[in-house]
Amino acid sequence: MTRPPLMFYCQHSLGLGHLSRSFALSKALARTFDVVLLCGGKLPELIKPPDGVQVISLPPIGASIDGRLISHDHRFSLEHASTLRRGTILNTFRSLRPEALVIEFFPFGKKRFTDELVPLLEEAKTSRPTAPVIASSIRDILVGRGSDQEEFDNRASGLANRYFDVVLAHTDPKFARLDESFSPRVPLRVPIRYTGFVASNGLPLRRPAHPSHGVVVSAGGGVAGAPLLNAAVSAYRLLEDDLEMTIITGPFLSEEAWRSLQVEANGRKGLTLLRSVPDLSSVLQNARASVSQCGYNTSLEILMSGVPALVVPFAEGGEDEQTKRAHRLLTLGAVRVLEPSNLEPRRLAAEIRSLLRFRPQKMQFDLEGGANSAHILDGLHAQRFVGRAS
């Protein structure tokens, strides 16, 4: 039996969270749909697409640490890359003729990609004879917009009402609900379906009684990880000699920052530097402690591994999503938190010593977000397309 075609748009700009979540969702969706994923960011070598999912790489665009959009392909200016992307997106839609369309995070984020997404949504919404089911895929907590919050939320609500059939909120509502970080005056009429968290590796892991590794320090994709990584290398000098530390920088850490870390770590017994690992969850499972930022995927990997964790949320440029997530997890007894304003080697070393005695509370959240999302979309697709071919 032929599976219906599904087109999935994903844009990761700064870290890897959006890409990792989209790959996990695509893997679950591929059991029901023929999935084609349009990837708008730079693809790291060690992160492989799920089996059975076709990936079309758009000219990669990302964000610098100061928030500017940049082209990651030296052959194209940002303007040229944007033009090529718009053409590829529409041509893919026209050739694929998807019966389901998933847009990752828009219109609740990714405002700067409006020029390539609204033409796609307009064409999808007016498709004949039957428009595809159109879904927005969002995480647990949205970024605050400060004084622009009301205007942003109203615009997002209007776009969602105009183009989308459903909002898939990838969270357990016991942890976070959309209305806690999204409050438009324009009522959101689109159904919100809470799917549970989208965990890349399924069920929680069994933690060994005596973990064999020391402290694991990780920084997600690595673009914004240099302050944490540098502080960790310096803190290692202040820790006990028998405590090993593995630092996983992330594939997007700049070459300059990577070389600097190598110089600082050179000759330090028990200190290991890695660019990336295929599966962070299994590394954390065997670690005595974890130090990291507090992105969506990293938080899930911490919870699933059961490792005592200290999180230092990324909070530059007005970003507050990780801080909100960190403090919710702190309140639940799942992690310890070090505010980024207090990040310095001596304080970090003291926090790591304390962390080794911390016993996190076990969380009982819905981790079946991938399967639940596939079930929701399959049901909506059946309602719209059933009997069409008869």
pTM, full prediction? 0.93
Please count the structural domains in the chain.
2
- Report the alpha-carbon distance of residue 159 to residue 209 in Å, rounded: 51
Q: Which residues contact 182 (CB under 8 A, 6 or more apart)?
A: 108, 142, 153, 156, 188
Half-sphere exposure (Cβ direction) of 344: Cα atoms closer than 13 Å: 4
Are both 222 and 320 inside the same structural domain? yes
Q: Please identify which residue in the block is written with the tokens 């647990």.
A: 140
Average pLDDT, the chain: 93
Closest listed residue to residue 114, CA positions, set 186, 72, 163: 163
Q: What is the pLDDT of residue 387?
A: 58
Which segments of 73-140 are extended strands (E)?
Answer: 100-104, 133-138
Beta strands in 238-370 (DSSP E): 245-248, 271-274, 287-292, 309-311, 336-337
Residue 72 neighbours by CB under 8 Å, 6+ apart: 41, 42, 60, 61, 62
Check residue 389 and give its pLDDT: 42
The encoded tokens of residue 67 equal 């928030």
- The reply to whether 40 and 176 lie within a common domain is yes
- Residue 256 maps to which CATH number? 3.40.50.2000
Does residue 329 lie in a domain region? yes
- Quick one: 111 and 144 in the same domain? yes
Residue 362 located in a structural domain: no
* The pLDDT value given to residue 205: 67
Q: The tokens of 187 are what?
A: 């009522």
Q: Which whole number is the average pLDDT over 295-317?
A: 93
* Same structural domain, 182 and 331: no
Mean pLDDT of 26-55: 93
Same domain for 37 and 126, yes or no, is yes
User: Is pLDDT at 388 greater than 70 in this prediction?
Assistant: no
The mean pLDDT value for 319-336 works out to 96
353-381: average pLDDT: 95
Helix (H, G, I), strand (E, B) or coil at 150: helix
pLDDT category of residue 278 using cuts at 50, 70 and 90: confident
Residues 348 and 373 placed together within one structural domain of the fold:
no
Domain that holds residue 284: 213-355
pLDDT of 348 strictly over 90: yes
pLDDT digits (tens, 9 = 90+) for 134-159: 999 999 999 999 889 999 999 999 99
Residue 208 domain-assigned (yes or no): no
How does residue 390 score in pLDDT terms, banded at 50, 70 and 90? very low
Backbone angles phi, psi at 389, to 5 degrees: -85, -5
Q: Are 251 and 344 found together in one domain?
A: yes
Q: For position 64, what pLDDT does the model report?
A: 80
Please check whether residues 55 and 164 belong to one and the same domain: yes
- Indicate whether 110 and 234 sit together in one domain: no
Token representation of residue 299: 């938080």
Same domain, 44 and 123: yes
Within a domain: 390:
no
Instruction: State the DSSP H helix or E strand holding residue 201, giving kind and residue range, or none if neither.
Output: none
Greater pLDDT, 204 or 150 = 150
pLDDT for residue 1 is more than 70: no
> 127 and 152 share a domain?
yes
Answer yes or no: do 261 and 316 share one domain.
yes
Least confident of 116-120, 156-160, 194-198, 211-215: 211-215
Does residue 380 fall inside a structural domain? yes
* CA geometry: angle 339, 14, 105, nearest 5 deg: 100
Q: Cα–Cα distances in Å, from 243 out to 162, 269, 335, 356? A: 56, 10, 20, 10
Residue 176 pLDDT > 90, yes or no? yes
